[in-house]
Structure 1
Amino acid sequence: MKRFCFLVLAALAAAALFAGLVHAALVTAHVSEPAATTVYGLTPRRLWATTVAVLALVGVVIGGLALARPAGRFGTASGRLGAIVALVAGLIAMINGGLNLALATGGPGTGNGVVGGAVAVVLGLIGMVLGGLALARSCSPG
């Protein structure tokens, strides 16, 4: 029971931290004010932001797996490969999310994909950190 409560509290803390980081990215990019009129549906910039956010999420998952299991059934190279994939996916997602935020002309609800861009920046950074830790762990002797 204590472990379950700890996991729930840890998940809530992680969600709050993630939301705070996304908000900080929106404020830093000066696009935190919501739109006066909301655009519904999928726009090209929302599609771009969603795609790079999914890429960043894939980088986080692969980086986490590479960090958790650096020596897979294919040997130690699979942990190194996963770390490199996480680093590259995180970097691509961070760059594209940052470009999306830089090109945005309005805040959330304008159809510019600013929330997805901010999520991509934050998740890309997390994926790069996990990939870097996994790469450092796979390169260290013993």
Structure 2
Amino acid sequence: MSARHLFAAGVHDFGLGRLGATTGALLGLAGLVLAGLALARPAGRLGSVNPSLVARAAMVAGLIGMALGGLVAATADGGLGTGNGLGGSYVAMLVGLIATALGRLVLTRSRRTG
């Protein structure tokens, strides 16, 4: 039995579900990186960029990533392994949630110090 018969979708098949889930996960990851950079550096170390602006950008990226992941999960026709991007949508929602929470933490800290 070949590997092609083990899964409903091929490894190299890339449909709209996988594209949406990947985009959501990448947006969530971008928000996570922004929030992590803003959290790791003191308020004046980001150069001329306002930390609250970076935190808001991280929150927006995280929220959009969660929304895309939720949309893909809601519209997926099959379960995991069917090529509809369901697994990636779960990752996008989780990473987006973490990015949003860290962005909120940075925003709260920047308001306290400012």
Give me the TM-score of the superposition, normalised by structure 1.
Answer: 0.69
Q: CA deviation at 1:141?
A: 3.3
Is the Cα–Cα contact under 8 Å of residues 38 and 46 in structure 2 kept in the other structure?
A: no
Give the structure, 1 or 2, with the largest relative contact order (CA under 8 Å, sep 6 or more).
2
Q: CA deviation at 1:73?
A: 4.2
| Residues in 2 aligned to 1:105 and 1:46: alpha-carbon distance in whole angstroms | 12
Name 1:137's counterpart in structure 2. Answer: 109
Secondary structure of 1:51's counterpart equals helix
User: Would you say 1:74 and 2:47 are equivalent positions?
Assistant: yes
Q: CA deviation at 1:74?
A: 2.3
**Of 18, 28, 38, which residue of structure 2 is paired with 1:56?**
28
Name 2:88's counterpart in structure 1. Answer: 116
Is the Cα–Cα contact under 8 Å of residues 29 and 96 in structure 2 kept in the other structure?
A: yes
Percent sequence identity is: 49
Is the Cα–Cα contact under 8 Å of residues 70 and 76 in structure 1 kept in the other structure?
A: no
Name 2:3's counterpart in structure 1. Answer: none
Q: Deviations over 1:80-119 (max 9, x none)?
A: 1110111000000111101110111111221110011000
Is the Cα–Cα contact under 8 Å of residues 70 and 80 in structure 1 kept in the other structure?
A: no
User: Would you say 1:95 and 2:95 are equivalent positions?
Assistant: no
RMSD (CA atoms)? 1.7
Structure 2 residue runs of 5 or longer lacking an equivalent are 1-5
Q: CA deviation at 1:70?
A: 4.1
Count of aligned residue pairs for this structure pair? 106
Q: Deviations over 1:53-74 (max 9, x none)?
A: 1111111111111111142242
| Residues in 2 aligned to 1:73 and 1:52: alpha-carbon distance in whole angstroms | 26
| Residues in 2 aligned to 1:62 and 1:74: alpha-carbon distance in whole angstroms | 14
Is the Cα–Cα contact under 8 Å of residues 97 and 121 in structure 1 kept in the other structure?
A: yes
Paired amino acid for 1:87 = M
Structure 1 residue runs of 5 or longer lacking an equivalent are 1-35
Q: Which runs of 4+ in 1 moved over 2 A?
A: 72-76
1:76 to 1:138, Cα distance in 2 relative to 1, 3 A: farther
